[in-house]
Copies of this chain bind each other. A is one copy, B any other.
Amino acid sequence: MRVTIADVARAAGVSKSTVSRVLNAKAEVDAGTADRVREIIARLGYVPSSRAVGLARGSSRTVGMLAPSLTWPWMSEVLQGAVDAVEAAGYGLLLFTCNRGRESMTRFAAQVSARAFDGLLVVEPEDEIGAVVPMHRAGLPVVLIDDRARHPAFPSVSTTNGLGGELAARHLLALGRRKPLVITGPPRFGCVRERLAGFVRALEEHGVGHDPRRTVEGDFTERSGEEAVEKLLAEGLDVDAVFAHNDLGAAGALRALRAAGRRVPEDVAVIGFDDIPFAACTDPPLTTVHQPLRAMGEAAANLLLAHVGGHPPPETSVALPTELVVRASAPHP
């Protein structure tokens, strides 16, 4: 049999109430009694049952995290950050994905209704945000991470996408490049629009116009990066730089440029976005706009934890700073 609060109470010669007070560090316990109880607890190796505590208190000291898929290259860092923060707070992290489509969401909704966790972290919601809204309305604390659709109803954590675009543009300008190709992600994502806007803004501030034909829509895959380069070259447009909205796309661009006989960075400087581990391993290694992914996961978790803990919902959304990581594909001037 596992040891319960009753066992501790009996061994200490006090009531369960008193043991509970010691456990929860309530002030009104006699110091001597408290010490004795603590000693018994240690001796018996007693740990309160999380299920019983949860039922009695009406909360589970657990938060949920819903992500579309775990295999996106930057999910790992975000997840690690969230796990670290949640763990540090003594909470547990219950992980869900929408990997199996409708069925996933049905099961997930059941867990929400069952009050399996006290708050929810949602990563990059697209379709599933529709399902999250009513949960939030029903009282579930929610924090979004990298909200691509810019849903204003939720607190969220993101990164300075616009500034990231500016950083890329300024670096290319400093390298003397004036004819950049921009390979975007799907324009329905807020982050994509912000990265593009920041990039173009910085060019214009330097008196460099951006020919719309130099903006090619991609879908964040390596293949789409390749195709974007091929398309531009086929159109006969000059290129002396590439700014891809993610590292995978930039890797595709590197490949297409090599295939076309263009040297990187001599002929074409290439900058990516994200700074996934893989970025340091391309040939040449990729200059890229670093997203503080782990910090974003941590910040989101801490925001949620504060919210769950009953604190007033803090700043509705925070944007952590991007920074340019310079490697050989677009070296220092």
Contacts and interface: CB of A to CB of B under 8 A. Distances in A.
Interface of A: 2, 45, 47-55, 60, 62, 69-71, 73, 75-77, 79-80, 83-84, 87-88, 90, 92-97, 99-100, 103-104, 107, 110-111, 113-116, 222, 248, 251, 255, 258, 277-278, 281-283
A164 B311 CA distance: 54
A55 B47 contact: no
Contacts of A222: 281
Residue in A45, A73, A114, A115 whose Cβ sees the most chain B Cβ within 10 Å: A114
Contact of A258 (B54, B84, B96, B283): B283
B55 A113 contact: no
A108 to B, nearest CB: 8
A113 B50 CA distance: 9
A71 B62 contact: no
Nearest to A94: B92
A206 to B, nearest CB: 33
A62 B64 CA distance: 13
A115 B49 contact: yes
B283 A116 contact: no
Given A76-B76, A80-B69, A2 B115 contact: yes
A205 to B, nearest CB: 34
Contacts of A281: 222, 248, 251, 278, 282
Nearest to A54: B51
A281 B283 CA distance: 10
Q: Give 5 closest A-B pairs by Cβ, nearest first.
A: A47-B113, A50-B114, A51-B54, A70-B80, A51-B55
A10 to B, nearest CB: 19
18 contacts: A2-B115, A51-B54, A51-B55, A51-B115, A52-B55, A62-B94, A70-B79, A70-B80, A73-B277, A80-B97, A83-B96, A84-B97, A84-B99, A87-B97, A87-B100, A92-B96, A251-B281, A258-B283
A274 to B, nearest CB: 13
Given A47-B114, A79-B70, A283-B255, A107 B90 contact: yes
A287 B48 CA distance: 52
Contacts of A75: 76
A70 to B, nearest CB: 4
Contacts of A60: 51
Contacts of A95: 79, 83, 93-95
B76 A99 contact: no
Nearest to A283: B283
Given A278-B281, A281-B251, A84 B100 contact: yes
A331 to B, nearest CB: 17
Contacts of A90: 107, 110
